[in-house]
Chain A
Amino acid sequence: MSLAAAALIALSSACGHVPPETVPSAGDPPPTSEAHRIPAPDLTPRVDGGYAWNLPPGFAPPLVPRHNPMSEAKVELGRRLFFDPAVSGDGSLSCAGCHRPERAFTDGHAQAVGATGQQHPRSSMALINVAYSPSYTWVGDELLQLEDQIRIPLFNEDPIEMGLAGREREMLDRLKADPRYPPLFRAAFAERGARAAEPDVDEVIDALAAYVRSLISAESPYDRRVFADEAGALSPAAERGMELFFSVELACGTCHGGIAFAGPLRSTRSPDTEPQLEHNGLLADAAARFKVPTLRNIALTGPYMHDGRLATLDDVLDHYASGGVPGEGRSEQIRGFSLDEGQRRDLLAFLESLTDDNLATDPRFANPFADGMIGG
């Protein structure tokens, strides 16, 4: 098509007016003169000390607390602490004991088990993309920062999780005695100068939070289909399942929405998002409202629901198809539906297409210790 023909392309506009693409010309545009040469840009890098998020398409930079800015050094320190049992009270359980990368940072158990063997009443939550959560834990709509949430498993005494309460000094001494840590603390908290070689609990928490905040990934077949325009990325069954998932009848995407397939997100684009809990019809108690968990990697994170009471995704579909326990407080989206066998297979195929196969092998997320030590 010539440039003159290109001029015929009509473009839409906000006001409805459709002007020509180009202004009619007496002839071809004149060659660019020296005076009209487009100036070369100044591409020297800006020195802003920024952290490279490497965000997937559609993901905005997460919000980061002012007191705990991201840095490569801090994330690296946090990664080591996350996989190190030395961080627990008795040195037996690491964070990764309940949040394993190959299970999308859950543990495969219905309910988590703490360092001393006590069973937690709830299931380990997935950690991928939690940087975008407006609140943390299954029922916590007041824990608004990862730094605050991390204190719960570290210091909780009923049940005991990491068992750190009263044993902080032991933990810090273990870290100090490990020659790998002092240089990592110094690099991560360089602003503290010489004092940074003496780690404290707040720094351990800040480094863990930085690592967990860095766990952002979306490399599933769904992402390839929707964000990379890869037509064959989803199987025909998953493609049909996607239509069911987002349909008005099933309305799964109404609660499990947005880029994280979870509840409302908070980021630099939407910094004021309020936490939201939903009643999923699982319990009769009207107050039994929980955070909407992510469906990304859902095939890896069973057993399901807040207490792991549903073993398989099939069981979960049965629950939502039934509409759950009726009563006051139940989310209006939980109203039941019917699926034939083919539709059920399609919907499951779609849910499985949300699995990010990169999680288990991504070196950014992996256990840094050569001996692979993970407690628990």
Chain B
Amino acid sequence: MRQIMRATAIAVGLLAAAGAFAAGNSKKITDVEASPEQEATRHFNQGIQLRDAAWKAEEKLAAESDPKKIEKLEKKIRGFYERAVEEQLSATKLNRRFHEAYSSLGYAYRKLGDYTAALKAYDTALALEPDYPEAIEYRGQAYLGLNRIDEAKKAYMALYGNDAEKAGMLLDAFRAWVQSGPDVPADKVKEVEGWIADRAKIAGMTGRGHDGGNGWASKGHEVGNGLEGHTEGNGLAGDAAGSGDR
């Protein structure tokens, strides 16, 4: 709701400014001052649009075979994420309670390969909003990228009770981690495989099913699909809270 209000405030401000400009008022649109929070939202939205642009380019990259075009696309994608970092940094400087912006900053850093900065950004997002599922999931994926498996498991458990969808996404990331042939002892990989199977079984049984469930939802039972106030439409560009990982 807070985010909706922020976005609405910007829209209302711009409409008022446009109206004044059209009426021949001497004030220009650029004279209308946005609050630091509104400015932060604007940067955040631009960062999300850059992330979305990167995703589109990634889709093209996946279908491309020409080495020259691949190189060009990779450069373009990197540019999008670098600019997204700039926007989210601006957003967090203007609004130091903006947990969504810290989380999106972490995502952009992670896509650029800077796991240290990514973790710091996720930690900050979660210091502000400890139950924010997106940051928990993203941080879990960052931990996987660093082979910090026990911490990634804790991220999964934090999601398990509160956001079945994101917990399922993180469990998929664990599966992808196993398939990637990680540079860890074979017995560790085997242990993680067993853990994935166990958690998938429990999720399926108890109705938090990433792999099905038992129909509780159709009986009206609460199955923990999302945190109230976090995953509902937030009025921010790209619906960052519900975007999932890529």
Q: Using a CB–CB distance below 8 Å, which chain A residues touch chain B?
A: 1-15, 17-25, 28-29, 32, 35-36, 38-43, 56-61, 132, 225-229, 231, 242-243, 246, 248, 251, 253-255, 257-259, 263-265, 267-270, 273-274, 276
Contacts and interface: CB of A to CB of B under 8 A. Distances in A.
Interface string B102-124: 10010000111111010011001
Contacts of B128: 41-43
Interface residues of B, number: 75
Contacts of A263: 221
Contacts of A4: 113
B205 A5 contact: no
B176 A9 contact: yes
A19 B55 contact: yes
12 contacts: A12-B169, A12-B173, A12-B176, A17-B62, A38-B120, A39-B96, A41-B92, A41-B96, A58-B224, A253-B214, A257-B216, A264-B220
A39 B117 CA distance: 12
Given A7-B113, A253-B214, A270 B222 contact: yes
B180 interface: yes
Contact of B147 (A1, A8, A39, A226): A1
Contacts of B219: 254-255, 257, 264, 276
A38 B160 contact: no
Interface stretch (B8-16, B17-25, B42-50, B77-85): B77-85
Given A42-B97, A269-B222, A276-B220, A23 B111 contact: yes
Contacts of A17: 58-59, 62, 246
Nearest to A271: B228
A9 B245 CA distance: 13
B25 to A, nearest CB: 36
Contact of B127 (A41, A253, A259): A41
B179 interface: yes
Interface of B: 54-55, 58-59, 61-62, 74, 77-78, 81, 85, 89, 92-93, 96-97, 99, 102, 105, 110-115, 117, 120-121, 124, 127-128, 141, 144-147, 153, 157-158, 160-162, 169, 172-173, 176-177, 179-180, 182-184, 198-199, 202, 205-207, 214-216, 219-229, 244-246
Given A17-B58, A61-B228, A227 B92 contact: no
A23 B244 contact: no
A245 B68 CA distance: 58
A79 to B, nearest CB: 27
A189 B124 CA distance: 37
Contacts, number: 197
A1 B182 contact: yes
B124 A41 contact: yes
A269 B177 CA distance: 32
Nearest to A35: B89
A162 to B, nearest CB: 32
Given A23-B54, A41-B99, A227-B160, 5 more contacts: A19-B55, A23-B78, A29-B117, A32-B114, A226-B202
A264 B221 contact: yes
Nearest to B231: A269
Contact of A57 (B62, B161, B205): B161
Nearest to B80: A23
B181 to A, nearest CB: 8
A216 to B, nearest CB: 13
A243 B228 contact: no
A18 B59 CA distance: 8
Given A38-B117, A258-B223, A268-B228, A43 B112 contact: no
Given A11-B173, A61-B228, A6 B115 contact: yes
B113 A22 contact: yes
Contacts of B105: 38
